[in-house]
Structure 1
């Protein structure tokens, strides 16, 4: 890890406009291919089950245990990233995507598949690590445009989700007939490896470097120097506390709990209308399968517009409030779609409006999450909250399955779990601390002052 220094004062990295833009492009591409791998697994699981002769119950069990494994790996990544740094954490996420894709192509039984797809939890955490790193470098970059519009710029990165979904659907249709599901996963490996190599050129975030430098001085017994450096950079020298314990420390606990509950409940809606969207449309709204695919493609295009809109809006108003209003509006739209909308036009309209607000708000959400935690536990906090989405999907799936087994119509189940879950997530996010958008943190002002000094 490199540091800039002078004879008089230690200095962390300077983030030039070129550094910020390079990191932004890589983050977008890495998230796109992480989503591609993540969605490809769901697309190919029925094909794999047919090849191996797995019963539907086996496929369901695999998917459930993969979600649990993803949750565990995602939490572990956050703990690691707050110790080894953002740059290495981001190399782990894209490296995990490459490894998961390669290993999935070699699948030979269900237990093996559960193990290797759990590794994909690294790729799923790409968005959380991206948010952590970009939140920090955007705060101290010399690029004035990015600094003024940091939420908007980040929203383009987060827009890798719908693009990754569409890329997965398109390439699966192209490659599956010719090279099969194994070849499709192998194809996903090569871009991820290239991005891993390119990420070696990125700079570590100055905020992490400051924390690392202070920790090193404390370990060496240089307490006075550590305190002087901490005072210079407007941070505190505290007794060591595990990052996971730190996000639940007094004064932080309430924010973490409400943020976690909101994220958990919102995945009820993602499961219902994104992951199970085709099933809902064909079985519940009697849309043909081909039309259902067209609707999902259009909805993902609309969702990209939602990302950009909410990112832009979050630069001007409290991100907490933007997220809350968006999720409540999204939930109401889903409620209308499930209970009232009839005909393809109305179903498309309200499905698209719902995804525009629900999925689109994630650009503001991830940046808000990174703003909600201190540097020493920011990666742990964002990945912990992000990982709860997988648990939300599992719990939501259990509730939907139970309702369907009891004879409930799928549209009613979608309303109860998906629509109401999305509205509830919007209400819970209001329990978090209200933020003021794009206010540079005191420690980041101090970093800028030190870097600008002669």
Structure 2
């Protein structure tokens, strides 16, 4: 008989199916707003460039600084909620990044906007691993992949699916500054609801009791955090996935309008395929991994994401075909983000260190794949043109094809644990 796996599914006091669906629903909405606030800048970029005197490289740098700040924050603050509680991190962070989204609309120049987006990344970096841990703890183990996939799927749906449509439609009636202000409001509402609903897991109460009795609480060493090989592989694989999908997401609006000559309306519709495809993949790939295993679905995500991106690169100004191929590529590519930072990270974590482990994996991917890769993309575009960013995105996905076969399988149904 296989040895029992470490208990990484730390339940909250008074857990019920009712608490599970309410907590997962609110955390899902919260992470969707993270995506909306983060990515609304891409479809607004063509309008902002002329107003603020920016270049395509400036747009990539704005997306990059948020990613780097997000990554550093996730590493440094990912374990904070393991010590002080989920609510004390979730509520302030969602309030702060919502306010920063609104302040983006008040920026008078590139440097001011750069600073605001960096501060926004700090708040989102704290919210991200904490919300993933809270979802894992609110979920029944057999539904962990399904629930975490649903939560992360709204990042793409709100940010890259509805976002381009919302932005391009609102721009017909208001300026880009007003769009930033409007999308900040829902986050404040969700913050209040999270404060009313979210409970703390039992291990935090146990730590508080030990602290009251003056018993030392040892911190997890780096050796303990990296004892499971999926932590290191997860970091590298997430970097590859983010290099592919984030470079694509930041630059597709400019590629469609400048290289292929699509109208702003057609650009918004085609770009929305990233979000709708990402929604399907971020929910579907982790859910399928509950049945078929984490490793097979990770390999499939990289291989099929790269294949459909290659076919997308061969298509000209045909909005319908562009939408279909971009949808399929992003379904698999974005599904990897949810799979790696969700169940793969959760099941590789030492007991009581889910948020810490998720923070390390997310942070490394954000710093290098969601941050520095975009700086490189901006430089490559400046030197070789907007089309060149497609090859950088494809390279990231192909690199992931090499890494993921070495993942250790951890899905409960596949391991029998």
Which TM-score tier does this pair reach, normalised by the shorter chain?
Answer: 0.7 to 0.9
Does the C-alpha gap of structure 1 residues 400 and 309 become closer, same or farther in structure 2, counting only changes over 3 Å? same
Partner of residue 356 from structure 2, selected from 380, 384, 397 = 380
Q: Retained in 2: the 8 A contact 1:327–1:422?
A: yes
Question: CA-atom RMSD, angstroms?
Answer: 3.2
1:435 shift after superposition: 0.9
Structure 1 unaligned blocks of 5 or more: 1-10, 140-146, 224-237, 443-454
1:282 shift after superposition: 4.3
Alpha-carbon separation, structure 1, partners of 2:129 and 2:214: 34
Alpha-carbon separation, structure 2, partners of 1:333 and 1:12: 41
1:32 shift after superposition: 1.7
Say if 2:224 is the partner of 1:240. no
1:71 shift after superposition: 2.6
Q: Retained in 2: the 8 A contact 1:271–1:397?
A: yes
Equivalence for 2:371: 394
Alpha-carbon separation, structure 2, partners of 1:205 and 1:19: 12
1:262 shift after superposition: 0.8
Equivalence for 2:151: 157
Q: Retained in 1: the 8 A contact 2:282–2:335?
A: yes
Query: Greater CA deviation, 319-328 or 340-349?
Result: 340-349
Aligned ranges for residues 301-340 of structure 1 at < 5 Å?
301-338=276-313, 340=314
1:218-238 Cα deviation digits (max 9, x unpaired):
662458xxxxxxxxxxxxxx7
Name the SS for the 1:13 alignment partner: coil
Name the SS for the 1:120 alignment partner: helix
Does the C-alpha gap of structure 1 residues 184 and 282 become closer, same or farther in structure 2, counting only changes over 3 Å? closer
1:270 shift after superposition: 0.9
Alpha-carbon separation, structure 1, partners of 2:298 and 2:230: 15
Q: Retained in 1: the 8 A contact 2:60–2:377?
A: no
Name the SS for the 1:15 alignment partner: coil
Aligned ranges for residues 200-349 of structure 1 at < 5 Å?
200-206=195-201, 209-214=202-207, 216-217=209-210, 220-221=213-214, 239-241=218-220, 245=222, 248-249=225-226, 251-252=227-228, 254-284=229-259, 287=262, 289-338=264-313, 340-341=314-315, 344=318, 346-349=321-324
Alignment: residue pair count: 402
Specify the structure having the higher radius of gyration (Cα). Answer: 1
Alpha-carbon separation, structure 1, partners of 2:176 and 2:263: 25
Q: Retained in 2: the 8 A contact 1:282–1:292?
A: yes
Q: Retained in 1: the 8 A contact 2:70–2:366?
A: no
Structure 2 unaligned blocks of 5 or more: 1-10
Alpha-carbon separation, structure 2, partners of 1:377 and 1:441: 22
Structure 1's consecutive aligned runs of 4 or more residues displaced over 6 angstroms after TM superposition are: 439-442
Alpha-carbon separation, structure 1, partners of 2:268 and 2:254: 10
Aligned ranges for residues 19-418 of structure 1 at < 5 Å?
19-54=19-54, 61-121=61-121, 122-123=123-124, 126-139=127-140, 147-165=141-159, 166-206=161-201, 209-214=202-207, 216-217=209-210, 220-221=213-214, 239-241=218-220, 245=222, 248-249=225-226, 251-252=227-228, 254-284=229-259, 287=262, 289-338=264-313, 340-341=314-315, 344=318, 346-365=321-340, 366-387=342-363, 388-407=365-384, 410-411=386-387, 413-415=389-391, 417-418=392-393
Does the C-alpha gap of structure 1 residues 440 and 153 become closer, same or farther in structure 2, counting only changes over 3 Å? farther
Q: Which structure is higher in RCO with an 8 Å CA cutoff and minimum separation 6?
A: 2
Does the C-alpha gap of structure 1 residues 389 and 106 become closer, same or farther in structure 2, counting only changes over 3 Å? same
1:78 shift after superposition: 0.8
TM-score by length of 2: 0.83
1:264 shift after superposition: 0.9
Alpha-carbon separation, structure 1, partners of 2:47 and 2:263: 21
